[in-house]
C-alpha cells in the first residue's frame, strides 16, 4: 500500500465518522471498514458531491474520490455554492469537513476532456483549501492534514506521481501544514517554483542544469490556496532569479499570481522572473504533441538558461 492510502486507512481507523465515496471499491478497504463506510457510488459526480455535503453538514466526514479532475466541472454547484458557504451563511453553526480527491493529467493520452489542471479556478473560492502535492509522499501528508481539517479541501493529485510511489514502510504518516511551501532542492543561482507534477520535472531540470554548473533551487508550492507568499518570497530573494513552472495555461493562472505577488513584494526584480506554462490549447491525444504543450525537464532547462542569460524563449 502506498503512503496516500496508508494515510486514508489510518484516518478511517481513527475516525468512525469518516466515510469514503468512490466509483470503485478497494477489497482490502471494504473488508476492514465495511460497505457502509466504503461506498460505491454511481458515476454521477454532481450527485456524489451533493450527497457528501449533506453527510458533512450532518456531522460525518466524507472523502470523495472523483477520479479525474475534469469531473469537478459537473459538480461545481455543491462544492462552490454549498460546501464552501455553509459555515459563513450559518454563522459557524455548520461546518463541512469534506475532502475531495481529483487526479490531474498524466500523459496517458486521455484527451482534452479528461486531462485538466483546474486548481487556479478553485483557488479563487473563499473557504476552500486547494492542495497540489509535488510527490506521492506530499500527497499523503496533505491528505492526512485534510482529514482533520474542519472545512472543504480539494487535493489535485498527479497520477504519474502516484504510479511511481513505492510501497510505504508502515511508519505513521506525518501531516503537512497547509499554506507552507517546501524547498525540495537547495540552490544559489536560480529559484524554480513549481506546482504538482511540475515539481518532478523541475527537479529533473535542476539535475540537468547542475551538469552545466548552474545551481537551481526547487520549491514545491504544495497548496495554491492558501498560498505561502512569505515562503516563496524568501526563496525568490535567496537567488534573485525566479522561474515559475505551472502545467496550467497562463491566463489567470497560479503562476501569474505568484509572479505578481513576488514582484509586488519586491522579492525579485520584474526582469528576473519568468513563468513557464502550458500552451493555450486543449490537451492533445498524441504523446508527441503533449510533450510540446506541457512543461517538461528540457523546456524548463531551456527557459532557466535563457533567463539567466537575459534572453527570451518563445
Active-site amino acid positions: 114
Tell me how far apart the alpha carbons of residues 64 and 181 are, in angstroms, rounded to a whole number: 25
Which DSSP state fits 9? Answer: H
Q: Sort 13 into a burial class: Cβ within 10 Å, 0-12 / 13-18 / 19+.
A: exposed
Q: Nearest Cα to 265, choosing from 307, 309, 231, 313?
A: 231
For the stretch 5-11, contacts whose Cβ atoms lie closer than 8 Å and that sit 24 or more positions apart, written own/partner, are 6/140, 6/168, 6/170, 6/173, 7/140, 7/141, 7/143, 7/144, 7/147, 7/173, 8/63, 8/143, 8/147, 10/144, 10/172, 10/173, 11/144, 11/147, 11/148
Amino acid at each position: 500500500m502506498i503512503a496516500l492510502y496508508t494515510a486514508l486507512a489510518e484516518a478511517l481507523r481513527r475516525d468512525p465518522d469518516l466515510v469514503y465515496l468512490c466509483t470503485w471499491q478497494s477489497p482490502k478497504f471494504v473488508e476492514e471498514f465495511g460497505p457502509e463506510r466504503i461506498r460505491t457510488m454511481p458515476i454521477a459526480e454532481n450527485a456524489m458531491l451533493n450527497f457528501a455535503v449533506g453527510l458533512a453538514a450532518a456531522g460525518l466526514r466524507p472523502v470523495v474520490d472523483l477520479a479525474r479532475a475534469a469531473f469537478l466541472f459537473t459538480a461545481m454547484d455543491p462544492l462552490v455554492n454549498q460546501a464552501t458557504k455553509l459555515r459563513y451563511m450559518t454563522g459557524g453553526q455548520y461546518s463541512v469537513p469534506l475532502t475531495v480527491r481529483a487526479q490531474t493529467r498524466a500523459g496517458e493520452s486521455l484527451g482534452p476532456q479528461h486531462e485538466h489542471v483546474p486548481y487556479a479556478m478553485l483557488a479563487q473560492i473563499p473557504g476552500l483549501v486547494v492542495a497540489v502535492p509535488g510527490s506521492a509522499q506530499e500527497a499523503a501528508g496533505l491528505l492526512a492534514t485534510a482529514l482533520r481539517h474542519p472545512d472543504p479541501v480539494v487535493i489535485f493529485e498527479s497520477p504519474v506521481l502516484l504510479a511511481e510511489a513505492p510501497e510505504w514502510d508502515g511508519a505513521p504518516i506525518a501531516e503537512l501544514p497547509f499554506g507552507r511551501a517546501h524547498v525540495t532542492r537547495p540552490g544559489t543561482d536560480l529559484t524554480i517554483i513549481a506546482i504538482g507534477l511540475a515539481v518532478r520535472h523541475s527537479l529533473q531540470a535542476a539535475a540537468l542544469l547542475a551538469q552545466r554548473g548552474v545551481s537551481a533551487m526547487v520549491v514545491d508550492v504544495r497548496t495554491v490556496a492558501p498560498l505561502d507568499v512569505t515562503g516563496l518570497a524568501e526563496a525568490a530573494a535567496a537567488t534573485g532569479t525566479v522561474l515559475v513552472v505551472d502545467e496550467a495555461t497562463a491566463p489567470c493562472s497560479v503562476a501569474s499570481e505568484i509572479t505578481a505577488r513576488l514582484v509586488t513584494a519586491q522579492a525579485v526584480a520584474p526582469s528576473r522572473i519568468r513563468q513557464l506554462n502550458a500552451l493555450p490549447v486543449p490537451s492533445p491525444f498524441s504523446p508527441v504533441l503533449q510533450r510540446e504543450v506541457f512543461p517538461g525537464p528540457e523546456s524548463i532547462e531551456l527557459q532557466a538558461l535563457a533567463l539567466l542569460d537575459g534572453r527570451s524563449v518563445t
